[in-house]
Amino acid sequence: MHAPIKNIVIVGGGSAGWLTAGVIAAEHNAFEEGGIRVTLIESPDVKTMGVGEGTWPTMRNTLSKMGIREADLFKECEAAFKQGAKFSKWVTGKDDDYYYHPLVIPDGYTKTDLASYWQQHNSDIPFAQAVNFQAELCEQGLAPKQISTPEYGAVANYAYHLNTTKLGDFLQKHCTTQLGVKHIIDHVTGVNSAENGDIASIQTANNANIDGDLFIDCSGFKALLLSGHYGVPFIDKKHILFNDTALACHVPYLQKDDPIASHTISTAQSAGWIWDIGLPSRRGVGAVYSSAHTTQQKAEDELYHYIKDTTNKQTADNSQPRKIHFNPGHRENFWHKNCVAVGMAAGFIEPLEASALMLVEMSAALISEDLPATKAAMPIVAARFNQRFHYRWQRIIEFLKLHYILTQRTDSEYWVDNCKPETIPESLQNLMTLWEHQAPSRHDFPQVEEIFGSASWQYVLYGMGFKTQQRSTQQRFNNSHLAKKYVEKNQKFIQQLKQAMPTNRELIEKIGLHGLQKI
């Protein structure tokens, strides 16, 4: 029980496996004699998911900590800047219906109640555009930084869109050549148990048994270790978030220099939505839908029309969507005995708001920073990990559900069902009651590392037309003078940025030529 934890085995070489390997290896000196040993084993027969091109700003910190140069990411992974998401047709379904969820918190957000001021004075301008400059950067296709901004630094907070297959290859190379991760390509066929129920080693098709102290299950939907070996149950969330099928494809640009959107475009459909992610060489486009509410044929038709409308008939005719089925939900626990699941093995809800890789990063960071020194410490760390991630999954589920419950669309059962109270978690219903008279605030989301802070909830809530009737007695809410100053300052800043910022494509091309300054 008191022997040191020195040997970590990761099963799975998708984005989850390599990100986790890189985070742990970098922090625990896997390259050095005496450092933690990190071994990653992946099957030659089971392909990685191959989708998941939207990330969160946390990725900048994760990659920087692994010692990755940002310019290399752009060159090797076809990366582009992502400054948030634009939601089209989620409220009324009409052509002029859209709102933004940008990544920048509004200036003055903690000083005064901008939402209240906006409702009283500026509601002719969309909420995100009134209180924040980033939505306008996106509308104009502008980048979040300049070529003189150092790597990972920002004028406007940003994440990436990237080619996920290339990211896997890039991380693999970096982890094995720079960080000391041992890579084994072999198929895991079974598990050998220790007397106390821990995993002692894993069996492989062509190598000897692989011993370890801690086993990280990154084997994707199968959850080979946590579910396959330990039988940790799956908690289904389809009764809250209905989507369970995706159709994914790559769409070429018509011209080589077509603009690259600086945000994910999410366009609502009759029983789901379509994502549109701009990379330098192509777009990643796909439909997510509820198989209980529509047919594959109808979803394919909607995707076809979307591609045709945003390119041309020939491109739409040539698109060959790949069908992916998923069960929305997560494991009952994520860390059991000496096994912890990360990535799809832990769970997956749906791609809306691209939270999956961010959860991978958060899991890897917590495992690495809180790595038990001995087996005796393992149950304590495991309990903390489970508690933290139960909270996070709950918050993600509620935040995603928020995007559906404020719709005015009644054109299909899908939208009608989404608004039925029995599909809305009670804690979200309680928050909605509170927000009738007070805007979302830090009191609603009290943890230090909240995934979606209250500003994100405000962007969706007010973007979708929710009304908060503030109490007139509260001093903070009466400070419209201060709020006015921030809103006006924001409008001036938008004008300055429009002059100063390069387009998304211009900056990416410049990074390819000149790189970025080191921090």
Ligand X SMILES: Cc1cc2nc3c(=O)[nH]c(=O)nc-3n(C[C@H](O)[C@H](O)[C@H](O)COP(=O)(O)OP(=O)(O)OC[C@H]3O[C@@H](n4cnc5c(N)ncnc54)[C@H](O)[C@@H]3O)c2cc1C
Q: Which of residues 375-394 bind ligand X (CB under 6 A)?
A: none
Q: Is 278 in the site for ligand X (CB under 6 A)?
A: no
Q: Is 210 in the site for ligand X (CB under 6 A)?
A: no
Binding test (CB under 6 A) with ligand X, winner from 224, 260, 349, 402: 224
- The number of beta carbons lying within 10 Å of the beta carbon of residue 359 is 25
Q: Pick between residue 342 and residue 516 the one whose CB is nearest to ligand X.
A: 342
Angle made by CA atoms 503, 506, 511, in degrees to the nearest 5: 125
Q: Which of residues 49-68 bind ligand X (CB under 6 A)?
A: 49, 51-55
Q: Is 171 in the site for ligand X (CB under 6 A)?
A: no
Structure tokens at 328: 């929305």
Q: Pick between residue 138 and residue 357 the one whose CB is nearest to ligand X.
A: 357
Three state DSSP letters for 388-416:
HHHHHHHHHHHHHHHHHHCCCCCCCHHHH
Q: Which of residues 324-353 bind ligand X (CB under 6 A)?
A: 324, 326, 343-345, 348, 351
Q: Is 396 in the site for ligand X (CB under 6 A)?
A: no
Smallest CA-to-CA distance from 224 within 5, 7, 13, 8 is with 13
Structure tokens at 269: 């459909």
Q: Pick between residue 73 and residue 130 the one whose CB is nearest to ligand X.
A: 73
Q: Pick between residue 268 and residue 487 the one whose CB is nearest to ligand X.
A: 268
Query: Interface mask (CB under 6 A) for ligand X, residues 416-455, using x and -?
Result: ----------------------------------------
Please report how close the Cβ of residue 355 comes to ligand X at its closest, in angstroms.
6
Q: Is 218 in the site for ligand X (CB under 6 A)?
A: yes
**Continuous segment of H or E residues that includes residue 192:** strand 188-193
Angle made by CA atoms 212, 217, 222, in degrees to the nearest 5: 135
* Per-position DSSP letters for 237-255, written without gaps between them: -TTTS---EEEEEEEE-SS
How many helices (H) and strands (E) the chain has is answered by: 16, 21
Please report how close the Cβ of residue 351 comes to ligand X at its closest, in angstroms.
3
Please report how close the Cβ of residue 207 comes to ligand X at its closest, in angstroms.
11
> What phi-psi label fits residue 220: left (phi over 0), alpha (psi between -120 and 50 degrees) or beta?
left
Q: Is 12 in the site for ligand X (CB under 6 A)?
A: yes
Kindly give the interhelix angle for 70-77 and 58-65, rounded to the nearest 10 degrees. 110
Rounded Cα gap, residues 468 and 153, in angstroms: 35
Q: Is 42 in the site for ligand X (CB under 6 A)?
A: yes
Rounded Cα gap, residues 1 and 518, in angstroms: 44
Please report how close the Cβ of residue 189 comes to ligand X at its closest, in angstroms.
7
Please report how close the Cβ of residue 282 comes to ligand X at its closest, in angstroms.
15
Please report how close the Cβ of residue 313 comes to ligand X at its closest, in angstroms.
25
Q: Provide the binding-site residues for ligand X, judged by CB under 6 A.
A: 11-17, 41-43, 46, 48-49, 51-55, 164, 187-188, 218-220, 222, 224, 246, 248, 286, 324, 326, 343-345, 348, 351, 354, 356-357
